[in-house]
Structure 1
Amino acid sequence: MTERIREVEKFEERPLIEHLRELAYRLRRILVSLLVTFLIYFMIGIELVTIYLPFPFFGLKYVISTIPIPYPSLFNSISVQLTQLFIYNELPKGVKLIIINLFDPLFASFYISLYLAIFTSIPIIVREIWAFVAPGLYEHEKRFLKRTIIPAFVLFGLGSAFAYFLLIPFMLRIILLYASALGSAVEPTLGLRSFVSTVMTLLIATGLAFELPLIMTGLTAIGVVKSKTWLQNWRWGVLVSFIIAWIISPGTTGGIIETVIGITLSTLFFIGALVSKTVERGRSKNR
């Protein structure tokens, strides 16, 4: 009798074990893709090589094209080159970067490589998550999720661009104004590791926050939340937007950055509510 019970329990647990194995397989593929792309950005550099075509007269040369050539490099990798780009574009004039700890340049390169690995692996991550959850979805849910892959990628990019071109320069200029107000006794400096980690945190957090309209539309498309619920509870949406802004903001500008992010996310909330209403009307017409 005991053996019979054990056989039944083993049979009942098998589906769960298979799901866990499938989940572990998908997670391994995601981790491998992240590791490979991370090592590429962390250990590979790009050199622009110009190809010339010699002209037979007067020793002249014509430029045919410029080709990027990858090569192994730990000290001039893609992440190091991107760090230099961040410093050149984002750092205001008058602010100096300093190395406080010995491994600050290494950590800066690590942060940027990790961000680039996550960003470029988004299609693989979405594909593996899709492969895991697709067998348990309805056909209309599968169609909707397929259509959200590109918008999710675009919204993440827009959020990162919003942080890179607007939030970060504005935040650094506010810091410079505060430092200047203290007089010549205080020199405006930033630690390299702190600067890069702050930039990367804002890029990732703002990119994820910009997914809000897509999440709202998805919940309406699969029938979890009605579109009128979003509009009826818009005060809560605005409140949550400002809470998210408070969480992802570095908190060094006296509430200015938090207000800008909160207003932006609130606008995205209303956009998501309107798109959800359009999607809900489309579903009702197709029935």
Structure 2
Amino acid sequence: MSDAVTLIDHLVELRNRLLKAVLSVLLIFLGLAYFAQDLYALMSQPLINAMPEGAQMIATDVASPFFAPFKLTLVLSFFIAIPYVLYQVWAFVAPGLYKNEKKLVAPLMLASTFLFYAGIAFSYFVIFPLAFPFFIGVAPEGVVISTDINSYLNFVLKLFFAFGVSFQIPIAIILLCWTGFTSADSLREKRPYVIVGVFVVGMLMTPPDPISQTLLALPMWLLFELGVMIGGLYASNREDSEADEEEKRIAK
């Protein structure tokens, strides 16, 4: 009976945490909704800067001028709320973690949030200014560049998600090393395969142009190296901690 009550309590707490996370996204959305058009204008600026003089974006759907900015605002609201959402996840799982696990998970959540934002910033400030002129420059002669606002938004959000997720590589490697699933030395031995793999992932997660693929693959490779370096340190600290605990146990 007590197990059933405990399970119900956990489910209720999980529901409350999820509701708080969703509510935080909605509150941020309500605060940004007034600026939806301005946010879309800011998001489309890299493409507009690369377009030929006199060219402009178009809307092929009647409702796109209204819904596209609000769609962007909703997704942006979720991105902004990610720290609070992760806090809710942390508050739910923390009671079941050991002390050494809490010391690992909390910094990793903060680092994961920072890396996700860094991936988005990298795509906006580095990828867009390079990729859009390339796309427009390779257009056949006589082709008028007039991008649909909804298609552009979908393209941008895919890149944001791709770079935000790919920048999580160090977190994944640290967890794998810390749990003992693999080791830093083993990952270093697989470096040639990893290099090939990141370029394959870059090809699959970005538009079919060599610039976007390369600019995603190179940061993924560097983040892999960073994750291997930090993962090795975390694994060493865990082994030292376990050795100290074992010595204390024997001494007692």
**TM-score, with length taken from structure 1:** 0.75
**Contact 2:136/2:145 (CA < 8 Å) preserved in 1?**
yes
Q: Distance in 1 between matches of 2:232 and 2:212?
A: 30
What's the offset of the Cα at 1:268?
A: 1.3
Amino acid aligned to 1:205: A
Q: Distance in 2 between matches of 1:25 and 1:230?
A: 40
What's the % identity of the aligned pairs?
26
Q: Distance in 2 between matches of 1:239 and 1:35?
A: 41
Of the two, which has the highest radius of gyration?
1
Aligned to 2:248: none
Amino acid aligned to 2:6: P
Q: Which runs of 5+ in 1 are unaligned?
A: 1-9, 43-76
Aligned to 1:121: 81
What's the offset of the Cα at 1:228?
A: 2.2
1:264 lines up with 2:219 in the alignment? yes
Q: 1:26-80: per-residue Cα shift (whole Å, max 9, x none)?
A: 11111111111122212xxxxxxxxxxxxxxxxxxxxxxxxxxxxxxxxxx3221
Q: Which runs of 5+ in 2 are unaligned?
A: 245-252
**Contact 1:111/1:197 (CA < 8 Å) preserved in 2?**
no
Does the C-alpha gap of structure 1 residues 243 and 18 become closer, same or farther in structure 2, counting only changes over 3 Å?
farther
**Contact 1:212/1:269 (CA < 8 Å) preserved in 2?**
yes
Q: Which has the higher helix share?
A: 2
Aligned to 1:93: 51
Aligned to 2:19: 28
Amino acid aligned to 2:14: L
Report the aligned-residue RMSD: 2.1
Q: Distance in 2 between matches of 1:111 and 1:273?
A: 37
What's the offset of the Cα at 1:193?
A: 1.0
**Contact 1:34/1:117 (CA < 8 Å) preserved in 2?**
yes
1:17 lines up with 2:8 in the alignment? yes
**Contact 1:115/1:204 (CA < 8 Å) preserved in 2?**
no
**Contact 2:39/2:73 (CA < 8 Å) preserved in 1?**
no
3-state SS in 1 of match to 2:143 = coil
**Contact 2:130/2:211 (CA < 8 Å) preserved in 1?**
no
Aligned to 1:73: none
Amino acid aligned to 2:109: I
Does the C-alpha gap of structure 1 residues 166 and 136 become closer, same or farther in structure 2, counting only changes over 3 Å?
same
What's the offset of the Cα at 1:236?
A: 4.2
Aligned to 2:187: 230
Amino acid aligned to 1:21: V
Could you say which structure has the greater relative contact order, defined with CA pairs below 8 angstroms and 6 or more residues apart?
A: 2
1:104 lines up with 2:61 in the alignment? no
Q: How does 1:245-260 map to 2 (within 5 A)?
A: 245-251=202-208, 253=209, 255-260=210-215
Aligned to 1:193: 150
Q: How many aligned residue pairs are there?
A: 239
